């Protein structure tokens, strides 16, 4: 293989391109917009920047935020100081930084819209507005709204959710996460350099309903929309069956990031999986793998690395937002447990850092159950004795 075309220059495409070029392959990246403010919270977890240090060790504008408030209408708010901050970028800054790294590694970057791709006996013909480009292999990184129908994940309505919000030119030093009754999703307030990204994501609700919920929240918090800019986009949230049938690779192509549905179905975290899948795709393409085995090898690598965990997350998602535990809604109980149990707080810290796999969550919760319940009861009886409180 001599030439690889990267279709799309978001975090997935630019990460794959950088590594392929560093590995010695001629790499062409095509993106219709290049660095742009892609609708996003822009939050990167510890899991992402501890593995890819350049995500934190750079001069690009960003915020490192530790203080986080989790709240639900019924249980109120609880503060959690993250052991590892969330690193929050504007997507223009993040995309620009990643594209500059790719360019410095030797990637040929073109601002072009890919109109169509045709499989040919010896590779691909890529049609753009300004002519055709030949490549031996394609990495599909065109995001959740991939317009190329023959490659990448095929989304059904159940496998996506709306995510929308506002960039608000105001300041705040902490993160807010708000759970809402009846919503399989949440509201976030992420402080960025110079503004906030306030948004909502939710499965099974129209964009109109989500927007109304978010605007009600902003009004309650007195967050003005006067100077704010609205944004909205599709967020992949594959259901269990879709993970198993996911079209992640095919003859002569591999899909990375949102174009391959690689997003955490509970939190909506996609940046890490975009960068990670770009990295893993490039490792497979650079390795000495027989051409007809490349796609299988990629699928297996992705499954081993994180996709099985995300599949399990897809099965948990409904229970996390709409389930009931000890006669109360899970988000309410989560907040109440955090107030009363340091052990439970540690688990939440790790979930926020991205270091607690969903596959091992049940075991960890069960292992800690006795201690957690003990802490909750002790804290309840202490409050009852000292303050005369009776609510659990």
Ligand X SMILES: Cc1cc2nc3c(=O)[nH]c(=O)nc-3n(C[C@H](O)[C@H](O)[C@H](O)COP(=O)(O)OP(=O)(O)OC[C@H]3O[C@@H](n4cnc5c(N)ncnc54)[C@H](O)[C@@H]3O)c2cc1C
Q: Which spans of this chain sit near ligand X (rule: CB under 6 A)?
A: 8-13, 30-33, 38-43, 113-114, 141-143, 147, 163, 165, 199, 233, 235, 257-259, 263, 268-272, 274
Residue nearest to ligand X (CB): 270
Residue closer to ligand X, measured from CB, 33 or 384: 33
> Cβ(363)–Cβ(316) under 8 Å?
no
CA dihedral of 33, 6, 149, 124, whole degrees rounded to 10: 130
Q: How far is the CB of 33 from ligand X (least distance, A)?
A: 4
54: which DSSP letter?
Answer: G
Pairwise CA distance, residues 186 & 264, whole Å: 14
Q: How far is the CB of 232 from ligand X (least distance, A)?
A: 7
Residue closer to ligand X, measured from CB, 79 or 145: 145
Q: How far is the CB of 144 from ligand X (least distance, A)?
A: 6
Three state DSSP letters for 303-339: HHHHHHHHHHHHHHHHHHHHCEECCEEHHHHHHHHHH
Residue closer to ligand X, measured from CB, 51 or 370: 51
Residue closer to ligand X, measured from CB, 142 or 372: 142
Q: How far is the CB of 374 from ligand X (least distance, A)?
A: 35
Pairwise CA distance, residues 66 & 228, whole Å: 25
> How many CB atoms are closer than 10 A to CB 230?
12
Q: Which letter, b or e, does each residue of 267-292 get, where b requires 16 or more Cβ atoms within 10 Å of its Cβ?
A: bbbbbbbbbbbbbbbbbbbbeeeeee
Residue closer to ligand X, measured from CB, 255 or 348: 255
Under 8 Å CB-to-CB from 341, ≥6 apart: which residues?
371, 372, 375, 376, 379
The tally of CA atoms less than 13 A away on the side-chain side of residue 236 is: 30
Q: How far is the CB of 260 from ligand X (least distance, A)?
A: 8
Residue closer to ligand X, measured from CB, 188 or 344: 188
Residue closer to ligand X, measured from CB, 253 or 344: 253
Q: How far is the CB of 214 from ligand X (least distance, A)?
A: 11
Q: What is the DSSP string of 115-158?
A: EEEEEETTEEEEEETTEEEEESEEEE---TT---TTSS----GG
Q: How far is the CB of 196 from ligand X (least distance, A)?
A: 12
């Amino acid at each position: 293989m001599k030439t690889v075309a990267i279709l799309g220059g978001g975090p997935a495409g630019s990460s794959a391109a950088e590594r392929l070029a560093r590995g010695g392959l001629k790499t062409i990246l095509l993106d219709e917009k290049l660095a742009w403010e892609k609708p996003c919270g822009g939050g990167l977890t510890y899991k992402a920047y501890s593995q890819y240090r350049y995500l934190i060790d750079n001069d690009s504008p960003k915020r490192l935020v530790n203080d986080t408030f989790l709240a639900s209408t019924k249980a109120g708010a609880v503060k959690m100081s993250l052991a590892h901050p969330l690193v929050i970028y504007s997507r223009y800054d993040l995309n620009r930084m990643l594209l500059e790294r790719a360019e410095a590694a030797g990637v040929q970057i073109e601002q072009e819209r890919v109109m169509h791709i045709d499989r040919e006996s010896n590779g691909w013909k890529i049609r753009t507005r300004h002519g055709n480009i030949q490549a031996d292999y394609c990495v599909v990184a065109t995001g959740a709204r991939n317009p190329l129908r023959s490659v990448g994940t095929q989304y059904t309505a159940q496998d996506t959710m709306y995510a929308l919000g506002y960039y608000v030119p105001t300041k705040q030093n902490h993160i807010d996460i708000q759970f809402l009754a009846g919503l399989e999703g949440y509201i976030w307030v992420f402080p960025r350099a110079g503004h906030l990204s306030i948004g909502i994501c939710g499965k099974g609700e129209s964009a109109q309903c989500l927007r109304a919920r978010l605007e009600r929240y902003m009004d309650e918090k007195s967050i003005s929309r006067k100077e704010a800019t609205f944004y909205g986009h599709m967020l992949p949230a594959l259901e269990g069956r879709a993970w198993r049938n996911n079209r992640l690779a095919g003859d002569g192509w591999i899909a990375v990031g949102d174009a391959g549905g690689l997003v955490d179905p509970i939190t909506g975290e996609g940046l890490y999986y975009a960068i990670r899948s770009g990295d893993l795709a490039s490792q497979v393409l650079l390795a000495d793998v027989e051409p007809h085995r490349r796609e299988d090898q990629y699928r297996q690598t992705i499954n081993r690395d994180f996709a099985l965990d995300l599949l399990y997350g897809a099965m948990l998602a409904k229970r996390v937002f709409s389930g009931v535990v000890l006669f109360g809604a899970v988000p309410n109980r989560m907040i109440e447990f955090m107030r009363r149990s340091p052990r439970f707080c540690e688990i939440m810290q790790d979930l926020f850092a991205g270091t607690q796999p969903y596959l091992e969550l049940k075991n960890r919760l069960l292992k800690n159950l006795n201690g957690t319940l003990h802490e909750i009861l002790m804290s309840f009886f202490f409050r009852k004795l000292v303050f005369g409180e009776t609510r659990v």
